[in-house]
């Protein structure tokens, strides 16, 4: 089971989708996403 210390090691970020395109090379419908995370 994960501990609180394990959870604190996770790097969680929020970003905005800048561009999305259909990725036609794969069998199942998939999208390529370009995400802007901003400055650190």
pLDDT in tens, 10-28: 998 899 999 999 999 989 9
Give this prediction's pTM.
0.54
Which residues, other chains included, contact 37 with Cβ-Cβ below 8 Å and sequence gap of 6+?
A: 13, 14, 15
Evaluate whether residue 23 is within a structural domain: yes
Query: pLDDT confidence of 4, banded at 50, 70, 90?
Result: very high
| C-alpha dist (Å) from residue 20 to 24, 29, 30, 33, 36 | 12, 13, 10, 5, 12
Domain of 30 in residue numbering reads as: 11-36
Provide the token pair at 39.
Answer: 């400055």
What's the total number of domains in the chain? Answer: 1
Is the pLDDT score of 40 beyond 80?
no
Asked if residue 5 is part of any domain, the answer here is no
Higher pLDDT, 40 or 15: 15
Task: Indicate if the pLDDT at residue 3 is higher than 90.
Answer: yes
């Amino acid at each position: 089971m994960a501990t609180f210390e394990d959870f604190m090691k996770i790097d969680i970020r929020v970003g905005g989708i800048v561009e999305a395109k259909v990725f036609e090379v794969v069998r199942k419908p998939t999208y390529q996403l370009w995400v802007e995370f901003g400055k650190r």
